[in-house]
């Protein structure tokens, strides 16, 4: 009987639930994934070997950002700090167009020993100067804007008409040409400060060309027009007062 009781007790003890301490008295082994290489694995005594990590492709703006950081730190690809700040803060900002005109294109008296008579207008489209021949071997020289590449021309005409603050009627060819560039021109623009013909216009013969003012004086001295001769408004006003209809104009 005593033996039966001992056997039953042993069976009950074996079936009794284990405590928390008993459950984790013998810990299971740590299973490590073979593609991990964090430092804590080495501390556990595992050496999974060298793992090759695939380098990701940088995002489009990331390369520039890294270059800017290296520049600020004085590293490779370094440029001026101001340039870096500008590029970082205003990446889409375009450089402002210069609004300064070279002083060489301001009106001045020069010597003239050519054969044209006083009162003749001579336009040098290479040097971008207009000369009004005067008495005594001198000429009044003005800076002008002339025809851009593909729009150069030369010839002799007379002033056939004069106009103050002229209206602008862009020719059909110009309207079509600008439309192809995505720019829409009006068929008519009334005279005024916003008009590209400026304050005065001198029409040359039966052509579409004129000597006229401009609302972009910083372009004087450059080959920028569609063939017309442009002047500063104050200069074309002066010329307008000094010449009349019938004045000879030599474009060379």
How many domains does the chain contain in total? 2
Is residue 212 among the annotated active site residues? yes
Q: What is the pTM of this model?
A: 0.60
Whether 214 is covered by a domain: the verdict is yes
Domain range for 137 is 103-251
Question: ∠ CA 160-162-165 to the nearest 5 degrees?
Answer: 150
CATH number where 224 lies: 2.40.440.10
According to the model, what pLDDT value does residue 1 have?
53
User: Can you say how many angstroms the Cα of residue 20 is from the centroid of all Cα atoms in its chain?
Assistant: 73
The whole-number pLDDT of residue 231 equals 98
Q: What are phi and psi of 34, to 5 degrees?
A: -70, -10
Catalytic annotation, pick one of 90, 169, 188, 212? 212
Q: What is the pLDDT of residue 183?
A: 87
pLDDT of residue 56: 41
Q: Is the dihedral of CA 171, 208, 141, 237 positive or negative?
A: negative
Q: Is the domain of 68 the same as that of 139?
A: no
Q: Is residue 108 domain-shared with residue 87, that is, in the same domain?
A: no
d(CA 38, CA 47): 10
The pLDDT score that the predictor gives to residue 184 is 87
Residues 121 and 196 grouped into a single domain: yes
**Residues with Cβ within 8 Å of residue 14, at least 6 apart in sequence:** none
- CA gap 169, 202 in Å, rounded: 15
**Predicted local confidence at residue 81, as pLDDT:** 32
DSSP for residue 126: T
Residue 60 is assigned to a structural domain of this protein: yes
**Residue 249, SS3?**
strand
Q: What is the mean pLDDT of each run of 10 residues along the chain (252 residues)?
A: 50 47 47 46 43 42 39 36 33 53 95 97 98 98 96 97 93 87 87 93 96 96 96 98 98 97
Whether residue 188 lies in the annotated active site: no
Instruction: Give the whole-angstrom CA distance, residue 231 versus residue 142.
Output: 8
Looking at the fold, whether 107 and 230 belong to one and the same domain comes out as yes
Side-chain half-sphere CA neighbours of 110 within 13 A: 17
Give residue 29's pLDDT.
52
């Amino acid at each position: 009987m005593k033996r039966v009781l001992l056997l039953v007790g042993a069976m009950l003890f074996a079936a009794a639930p284990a405590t928390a301490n008993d459950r984790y008295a013998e810990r299971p082994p740590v299973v490590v994934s073979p593609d991990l290489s964090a430092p804590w694995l080495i501390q556990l005594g595992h050496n999974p070997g060298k793992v090759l990590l695939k380098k990701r492709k940088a995002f489009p703006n990331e390369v520039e950002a890294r270059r800017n950081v290296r520049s600020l730190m004085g590293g490779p690809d370094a440029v001026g700090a101001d340039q870096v700040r500008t590029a970082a803060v205003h990446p889409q900002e375009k450089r402002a167009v210069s609004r300064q005109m070279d002083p060489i294109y301001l009106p001045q008296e020069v010597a003239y020993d050519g054969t044209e008579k006083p009162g003749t207008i001579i336009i040098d489209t290479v040097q971008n100067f207009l000369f009004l021949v005067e008495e005594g071997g001198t000429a009044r020289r003005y800076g002008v804007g002339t025809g851009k590449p593909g729009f150069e021309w030369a010839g002799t005409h007379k002033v056939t008409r004069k106009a103050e603050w002229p209206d602008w009627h862009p020719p059909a060819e110009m309207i079509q040409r600008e439309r192809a560039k995505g720019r829409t021109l009006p068929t008519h623009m009334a005279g005024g400060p916003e008009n590209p013909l400026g304050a005065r216009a001198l029409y040359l013969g039966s052509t579409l060309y004129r000597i006229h003012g401009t609302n972009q004086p910083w372009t004087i001295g450059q080959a920028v027009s569609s063939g017309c001769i442009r002047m500063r408004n104050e200069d074309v006003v002066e010329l307008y007062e000094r010449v009349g209809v019938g004045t000879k104009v030599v474009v060379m």
